[in-house]
């Protein structure tokens, strides 16, 4: 069974080092990246992020997301909590409804770290 990663306390976007020279992520940067990648390593969460990226404005509620993913609201809430804890989504309350939205900078930071230049 894989070792569980620690909870991410700092949900600020990880840095985007340039890959033009030798790059070695610090232990903290590597841990933050691993936490975010682990959060994304689930088909339902990838679908949630994909859908929310298309709705960058107000976001979406679990009531809206559940039928789209063909999941129950509690299951969607669980996945959103994982994404929230990893710093990939944010939430805000409007009345009794909680809306979730992707933090674009977090996704861009992951893309920046993983960008590879080849031959």
**CATH second-level architecture of 27-114?**
Orthogonal Bundle (1.10)
Predicted local distance difference test score (pLDDT) of residue 118: 38
Rounded mean pLDDT, 80-93: 95
First CA to last CA distance, the chain: 36
Q: What are phi and psi of 97, to 5 degrees?
A: -105, 135
Q: What is the pLDDT of residues 31-78, one digit of tens each?
A: 888 999 999 999 999 999 999 998 877 899 999 999 999 999 999 999
Whether residue 14 has pLDDT greater than 90: no
Query: How much is the pLDDT for 70?
Result: 96
Reported pTM: 0.76
Which is more confident, 20 or 97?
97
Average pLDDT in the chain = 83
Q: Of 107, 116, 111, give the one whose Cα is nearest residue 20.
A: 116
Residue 16 pLDDT exceeds 60: no
Mean pLDDT in residue range 78-104: 95
Domain boundaries, the chain: 27-114
Q: How far is CA 98 from the centre of its chain?
A: 17
C-beta neighbour count of 102 within 10 angstroms:
21
16 — phi, psi (to 5°)?
A: -115, 85
Which tops the pLDDT comparison, 85 or 113?
Answer: 85
Which range in 18-22, 57-61, 68-72, 110-114 is most confidently predicted, on average pLDDT?
68-72
CB-CB contact of 110 with 86 (8 Å):
no
For the cut 60, the answer to whether the pLDDT of residue 9 exceeds it is no
């Amino acid at each position: 069974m894989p070792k569980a990663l620690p909870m991410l306390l700092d949900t600020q976007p990880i840095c985007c080092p340039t890959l033009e020279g030798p790059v070695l992520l610090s232990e903290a940067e590597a841990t933050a990246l691993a936490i975010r990648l682990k959060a994304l390593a689930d088909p339902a969460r990838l679908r949630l992020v994909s859908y929310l990226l298309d709705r960058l404005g107000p976001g979406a509620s679990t009531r809206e997301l559940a039928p789209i993913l063909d999941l129950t609201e509690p299951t969607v809430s669980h996945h959103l909590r994982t994404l929230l804890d990893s710093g990939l989504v944010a939430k805000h309350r409007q009345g009794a409804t909680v809306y979730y939205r992707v933090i674009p900078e977090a996704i861009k930071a992951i893309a920046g770290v993983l960008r590879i230049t080849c031959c």
